[in-house]
Amino acid sequence: MKRLKALIIDDVRLIRTELKMILHDFQEIEVIGEAGNYSDTLKLIREEKPDVLFLDIHLPGRSGFELLDAIDMDLKVIFISSYFHKYSTKAQEYDPVGLLSKPINKKKLCMTIKKLVKNRDNN
């Protein structure tokens, strides 16, 4: 089974490191890169062509929503944020696979990965 190529996009290095360590336990996911800002992320997406983004809503200078509006690729998105109380309605407009609150809850992440894999296998 082909692994899903994932990018972790968050301006907090600790969050990226923690998520990368947790995702290492999931055979279905291969983390192929990470970035902490909008411009590095655009470049990385174009170079690596990921299947899925673990995407923070708040990035320096621009939002994760603006990032998604700027790319022309069919990607699965899992939002990660501390601000879903403000942005959950807006986040749903992007049809995310999941919404993960910070700090990352491993059980919720596991359910989100199962949903991601199920959606992939049904397509």
pLDDT in tens, 15-64: 999 999 999 999 999 999 999 999 999 999 999 999 999 999 999 889 99
Question: Residue 122's pLDDT is what?
Answer: 76
Give me the pLDDT at residue 119, please. Answer: 83
Q: Does the pLDDT at position 1 exceed 80?
A: no
Structure tokens at 33: 């890169």
End-to-end CA distance of the chain: 14
What pLDDT sits at residue 120? 80
pLDDT digits (tens, 9 = 90+) for 82-112: 888 888 899 999 999 999 999 899 999 999 9
Domain coordinates in residue numbering, the chain: 4-121
What does the pLDDT read at residue 123? 65
Assign domain 4-121 to its CATH superfamily.
Response regulator (3.40.50.2300)
Measure the CA–CA gap between 116 and 1, rounded to whole angstroms. 14
pLDDT at 14 over 90: yes
The backbone torsions φ and ψ at residue 115, rounded to the nearest 5 degrees and listed phi first, read -65, -40
**Omega before 103 within 30 of 0, i.e. cis:** yes
